[in-house]
């Protein structure tokens, strides 16, 4: 009997990336799991010059009907 284990990195998640909680994105950014560029591109958030999530601007940008949608 043989056992094969396959380990894949990352995950595609479920649902829209724009529905991911901002606190979770901020944590991923702070812990280096995502870059500021990826956070802005994939999650529609605003990252300040300090490389931290701008919560107020991110909420505004992610509102339905905005360019980030």
pLDDT band at 29 (very low <50, low <70, confident <90, very high): very high
Q: Note the pLDDT of residue 8.
A: 72
In this prediction, residues 52-60 reach a mean pLDDT of 93
Residue 56: count of CB within 10 angstroms of its CB: 9
The pTM of this model reads 0.73
For the chain, the distance separating the N- and C-terminal CA atoms, rounded to the nearest angstrom, is 50
pLDDT, residue 63, reads 86
């Amino acid at each position: 009997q043989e056992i094969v284990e396959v380990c894949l990195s990352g995950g595609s998640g479920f649902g829209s990336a724009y529905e991911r909680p901002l606190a979770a994105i901020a944590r991923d950014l702070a812990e280096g799991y995502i870059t500021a560029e990826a956070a802005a591109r994939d999650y529609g958030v605003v990252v300040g010059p300090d490389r931290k999530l701008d919560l107020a601007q991110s909420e505004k940008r992610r509102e339905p009907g905005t360019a980030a949608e």
